[in-house]
Structure 1
């Protein structure tokens, strides 16, 4: 026969409070960081957050105490204050006689030096607005390349001119149908050659 359970081991049918859960603290960053810069930084962030939370809590507590201790104003008192404030504003819109006299006086014209000083900052601002084109890092190289290109073009033109002169001279030296030299053509070819040489 099985043994009976004792009264102590018998389950309680009375409602019991659930065991209080342990509150976990919050974590910042991964938990398995090695000791070093990143771990110290996360710890610093955590302490800062805790400090701010404590300050907020203390502030809320002080504010609550002040609101409780401060005497409450009735609705009628608030209405009276509003009416007083409006009447003060209505009376304060009047301008003082001395101020009125100052406003009515014509403004003195600034001296020429002061005018120049006023213009100078504007001129400086205008200069700042006008951006100068940024100088290229390769301007010297670009200039050299341009000079080389122009020299090559000049040589090419001279070569073509010499070739034309040679062809013209060869044509001029051919005898005509009667076997005589064409002196007119030869002279024009020689003249163009001399002009080119003098032009250089």
Structure 2
């Protein structure tokens, strides 16, 4: 009969395995692995580096905290509790300390009056709220340009109407009267209005 093997290759311990056979842990990944070089890839790389940095800081903090807790002495309350349990202390007496009794027997000092904040008398115009300056509109320039255009258009419209009235007046003035003669008075009035308008513009 063949001897029973104590160790089989399948059941070999980790120590006996060569280091190349031990599977290395893969690092964590953020985002898809097949991103082209660009904005999204750089963003995922930044997120990953931030996460690694935060993990390192947390690890260092935990290490420092553990060292501090190990070197820190026990709290005063914990030591007092231990002392109380270890020693058979007398029950607490109900008598007051002599200093406390002396302090209670002294007459209480009169409280000092708190100084009132004296207000300065209001001068005229100070009591009222300060009027806010009107805030300049963001479209002030555009509104001014629009006003100028509107005024220009109105002026053109008035001029057009005045010319139209002059034409109509001139046509009426040139009509002959019932005897077939020209009406020079009407013509002269229409011409005078026209001259006044031209002189007024210039």
Give the TM-score of the pair, scaled to structure 1: 0.48
Kindly indicate which of the two structures has a greater share of residues assigned to helix: 1
Give the TM-score of the pair, scaled to structure 2: 0.48
